[in-house]
Amino acid sequence: MEALLEVVNLKKYFPVESGFLKKSVEYVKAVDDVSFKIYRGETLGLVGESGCGKSTTGRMLVNLLKPTSGEVRFEGKDITKLKGAEEREFRKNIQIIFQDPYASLNPRMTVGDIIAEPIKINRLAKGEEVEKRVLKLLEYVGLASYHRNRYPHEFSGGQRQRVGIARALAVNPKLIVCDEPVSALDVSIQAQVLNLLDDLQKEFKLTYLFIAHGLNVVKHVSDRVGVMYLGKLVEIGDADSLYDNPLHPYTKALLSAIPVPDPAKKRERIILSGDVPSPLNPPEGCRFHTRCQSCMEICKKKEPELKDVGQNHRVACHLY
């Protein structure tokens, strides 16, 4: 399979400024040396708890954040160094859907204008063509043509998310970064949006990077899944093999913590002690060793690398 996008040693450090002169003394290592590939037509899920760097990674792929170092290669070309017209041209290829559909839609624009904006900016259509395209897009995402003259506040959460999806589709992207697209929605609405994303993927041969903290949702949509912890990718593999046979102790704990809607199933639960350490000064060695139940001496000193354990499954742990 061909990689549509390749992330190589991607890092993002946010400086923490303090003092009168705003000198940056420390760095929050939000994403620290992450590499992975996204293949054409697949859905790669990215899971992890808050602060693990999954959203920061997503934003760097869309070029909304500039990486501190590392490369993002889209169809073989490094996009982090693009500028001006070239960058604008590239942006058509990767679009993003945000978590909070209300905060990401301009309240003073009608839905029709919101969806038409990317079409006009990228000069994909002119005059009446624009209107036609907007109507088509509304139809794709399951909204009616009369919705185009309404404002975002007139819509429910699920409908707003549909508007966000239509806007992302407007420029015929190849890859869509879905950053927690259903986290803010009710269960019944969540199912509607997930099914819509699935239909659109088949129809337009889209590739998704699906970022979420809901592990059940990620399992449902993804072909492959990556697990992040404190800015590091700790495990990545095919969705089925990762969920059936998790290797990293963190992945195991994370999976065992998901409440399953079946009272008859009583499962062994691994309860992690303590909280995620501060990303300002992450623990030395393996970043998970402070909460790990299988921690060894070496874990405290040496950082494990992502190792291939066969069947497309890679894990960063000294146990393997």
Partner 1 sequence: MLLQVKNLKTQFKVKGGVVNAVDGVDFEIDRGEVVSIVGESGSGKSVTSLSIMGLIPNPPGKVIDGEILFKGEDLLKKTKKELQNIRGNEISMIFQEPMTSLNPVFTIGKQISEALIKHKNMSREEALKKSIEMLELVGIPSPEKRVKDYPHQLSGGMRQRVMIAMALACGPELLIADEPTTALDVTIQAQILDLMLKLKDKLGTSILLITHDLGVVAEVSDRVVVMYCGKVVEKGTVMEIFERPLHPYTEGLLLSIPRVDEKHDKLFMIPGVVPNPLNMPKGCAFADRCHRCEEICKKEVPPLVEYEGRQVRCFRYLNHKEGKV
Q: Which residues bind partner 1 (CB under 8 A)?
A: 49-50, 156, 158-159, 186-192, 194-195, 198, 213-217, 219-221, 240, 243, 253-265, 269, 271-273, 275-276
| Radius of gyration for the chain, computed over Cα atoms and rounded to the nearest angstrom | 21
- Comparison of 92 and 213: residue with beta carbon closer to partner 1: 213
Q: Please, which residues bridge with residue 208 across strands?
A: 43, 176
Residue in this structure with the two tokens 């970064």, named with its chain if needed: 177
- Whole-number minimum distance, CB 215 to partner 1, in Å? 6
- Beta strands 175-179 and 207-211 are parallel
Q: Report, in Å, the least distance between residue 40 CB and partner 1.
A: 21
Q: State CA 17 to chain mean position distance.
A: 27
In the complex with partner 1, the residue whose CB is nearer, 276 or 315, is 276
Nearer to partner 1 by Cβ, of 44 and 116: the residue is: 44
> Is the Cβ of residue 40 or residue 213 nearer to partner 1 in the bound state?
213
Provide, rounded to whole angstroms, the least separation between the CB of residue 68 and partner 1: 25
Closer to partner 1 at the Cβ: 43 or 190? 190
Quick one: which of 95, 73, 55 has its CA closest to 207?
95
Cα–Cα distance measured from residue 208 to residue 140, given in angstroms and rounded to the nearest whole number: 17
Q: Are 81 and 72 in contact (CB under 8 A)?
A: no
Q: How far is the CB of 288 from partner 1 (least distance, A)?
A: 11
Provide the token pair at 210.
């699906």
